[in-house]
Chains A and B, each alone.
Chain A
């Protein structure tokens, strides 16, 4: 029993890092633009296909193609933001949410059309199997995804904290009008942010490709959890997204170990509701105004 719980905790931690990475992209977009991005799962799916096709067609290891995936998704995100979201940023908030829902429908069904509904799995010899850690097993690709998620989150954090551009992004997130008054090009920051958010989703996708299946609707697995993690951590908070992701991952996994039925999902939403009700700003959030 103890072994089972230990294994569950470790597995949850590894999965949680991916939830965190998905949430980091979401929270970045939300923090700057106040947009709840429903297309995030679809972008993640595109990242998976990118990794898959690079491997199958060009024989490139999915981890080596990561930078290309990052750039592709960044570009796509920037285009979506500039072409579709920017014109309606002044409209009521739910319009943006539903717009991203429409974008999700387009991307998912385009993938269905182009690449068929087949479920595709990447199998790479040296990634098969698990590394034993005492009595526990660490699945190799999950371990890499875990590390990758942590590294990317840390890199983004450093970027936002220590670079000129990063500071401009944070300034925009805090006060859009103020930022534009001191000479920040808010439109450009918006485009950059959405691009970065999309790239995070793409990288998360590429990282999970070696152990999950790739299919047009696979993003649904992560989308709702992504939202949960974002709110849990405090909208716009990076540390919060990371902590929230790990918490949800471990909670879900322990739920699977201890609860009957498919109640592990319930654990996730219950944690969510409880945190929201007793600490509505999220774990690491600052007090918010609507």
Chain B
């Protein structure tokens, strides 16, 4: 994308013969950016709205709509004369190639920023489209570290990446052991087989050793499967102090029910970024016996901040369900993007990118200090919290300053 390579490309394509020399595509999409005070500002999002992950995608779309409306109700983008924020929907269907086409379409419709993508595979491809078209892209949820290791300057991530998730998860686990004077020496790690589970699992292995935790067994199960009884029996046979699980909602509920059934006797059951264990509907779906006191180290909200409650209430009233972890981050990512547009005072994507890079947001609902990005685009203060299902509701137990309750540990 540098000028040099482009020139080189043109030169070489001349050798290829006429055809490729026609590549100077007219960039229609250099939008009417200079229009001084636009009536509306369009942002786009790319999430799976159909297919196996439609549940999560839909929850995130709702959160983005809520964030946009919150800004609109407070007077829109003030630096642009109160321009209203409009959200344009992109449905990735969970596929990178479809996601890329949708990204291109949204950019064609004049969005000045993109949000996405829930799946790392889709994020890899769509951030590349955004980078080439120079449109800022804020990742809502997608854990793979590698997304930001490609040198992209237009991509930012609010959510903790898989390294941060695993590192903090292990740290919380050892803290928990010390606080409750319950030694935790052995763990098992069981996760689903896609990028999500594997990248978290790999990093848990990396951080467990130095923290003095012995891994008795690491078990991988296919993301879409009818049965995990045998896998769960392996966990029970290993008899760890704490059993760790990473998965999506559908398999997470199945795992929780099955682990309860095989009669695991551990001091604790803990998820890491588990799509089920800290989902508001977990207890209702898995049942109290399988869910009570289950922990999860996950990206989530800041319960101490009174604003959080307002956002949660508004979401509940409007969409008739509670905000899930990924909905919280979709909301936060949208607010970060809109905050940058506000500070840029322009709909020029380059200026918005610069404003994003200079983000320093204190007023947010995440359990962390101010949101700001490092040179790669990672949120430097991003961290998960440790939650525990109590009375059917996931509550924050660590770190202490965000804690709603003290931990029940050992849990049985």
**A residues whose Cβ falls under 8 Å from a Cβ of B:** 1, 3-4, 7-8, 11-12, 15, 18, 109, 112, 116-121, 123, 128-130, 137, 139, 208, 211-213, 215-217, 220-222, 225, 253-254, 256-257, 260-262, 264-265
Contact = CB atoms under 8 A, between A and B. Distances in A.
B222 A15 contact: no
A265 B222 contact: yes
B91 to A, nearest CB: 12
Interface string B206-242: 0000000000000011101111011101100100000
A257 B24 CA distance: 58
Interface residues of B, number: 34
B287 interface: yes
Contacts of B51: 217
B222 A117 contact: no
By CB atoms of chain A within 10 A, which of B54, B55, B221, B227 has the most? B227
Contacts of A109: 50
Contacts of B262: 7, 130, 137
A4 B233 contact: yes
A260 B219 CA distance: 7
A117 B254 CA distance: 17
20 contacts: A4-B233, A8-B230, A8-B233, A11-B229, A112-B54, A117-B50, A118-B55, A118-B281, A121-B253, A130-B261, A137-B263, A215-B55, A217-B52, A220-B224, A221-B225, A221-B226, A256-B230, A256-B231, A257-B230, A262-B220
Nearest to A215: B250
Contacts of A257: 230, 233-234
B233 A121 contact: no
Given A117-B58, A120-B285, A11 B50 contact: no
A213 B254 contact: yes
Contacts of B229: 7, 11, 15, 139, 253
Interface string B281-303: 10001110100000000000000
Contact of A253 (B54, B227, B237, B286): B227
B193 interface: yes
B156 interface: no
B254 A123 contact: no
Nearest to A140: B261
Contact of A15 (B57, B221, B227): B227
Given A4-B237, A213-B250, A119 B285 contact: yes
A15 B230 CA distance: 11
Contact of B253 (A18, A119, A222): A119
